[in-house]
Amino acid sequence: MGSGVTGLYRQASLFDSAAFYAFLVTLPTNINFIVSVEVNFYTTYRGYFSAITDGGTMPEIELARTRMERSLWQEISSLVVVQLFSMVVYILLMRYWLVTIGFTSEMLHMFQLMCIGYSLYCLGSSLMMLQLYFNDRLGAMATAAVFFLTNLAGTLLSLRLGPLYYGGGLVLGGAAMYTAALPRMKSYVRRIDYHVYCSQPVFNERTHDRWKIIADKLEERAGRMHGV
């Protein structure tokens, strides 16, 4: 299916065309995340941390946390419902139009499969972004690693099974990503008080991380070059 263009650059026009139109199915979640999640959820998120940093009482902090959790799960449920509904409608409508521009049955099958995969991926990616809201960097890294490894294994398997299964790795990777991120998010938010109060160092500790050392040297060198 693939062909060389020049040097190491290759293309697979049938797969690439199907992937392009399938990727557009992620627009509802991308828009909804920016317009709704980052507005409605962020308001309660800021309220919770403001109650902590501005000297709120314990009942005020607990009330703010409850509101934040309720808003979080409402927004996640909304993302899932909107994305799944949009995916079904998009697949049903687009398959008729794609035929008119020359899509073959194999391309339609890859398109439908990747629509499912991209829908699962964008939901999992949204959860990963929310993990970073709470500074759960370890959870976000684990979520990304699950997607990468599952997608890699599924893609290698689909190459052996044939063109009808191309895109199957994305479906498996997206499903694994969402399945891994959601329980982690529930567990982390359930213990959010611990992560806020107890998981941070009491005193500022100087670390000797090699990347920080390199960054400090580069910053010092840049300062000398600019006469700072």
- Compute the CA torsion angle 214, 128, 164, 9 (nearest 10 deg): -20
Task: Return d(Cα 63, Cα 58) in angstroms, integer.
Answer: 9
High-pLDDT (> 90) share of the chain, %:
32
Whole-model pTM over 0.85: no
- Of 155, 150, 177, 174, nearest in space to 165 by CA: 155
For residue 206, how many C-alpha atoms fall within 13 Å in the half-sphere facing its CB?
A: 2
Structure tokens at 135: 């500074």
Q: pLDDT tens digits, residue range 128-180?
A: 999 998 888 899 999 999 999 999 999 899 888 887 788 889 999 999 999 99
Mention every residue, 6+ apart, whose C-beta is less than 8 A from residue 112.
Answer: 91, 95
Strand partners for 10:
4
User: From the CB of residue 30, how many other CB atoms can be counted at a distance below 10 Å?
Assistant: 13
DSSP, collapsed to helix, strand or coil, labels residue 5 as: strand
- Which residue bears the tokens 């199915």? 25
Q: Are 64 and 47 in contact (CB under 8 A)?
A: yes
- Which residue bears the tokens 């501005």? 54
pLDDT band at 115 (very low <50, low <70, confident <90, very high): very high
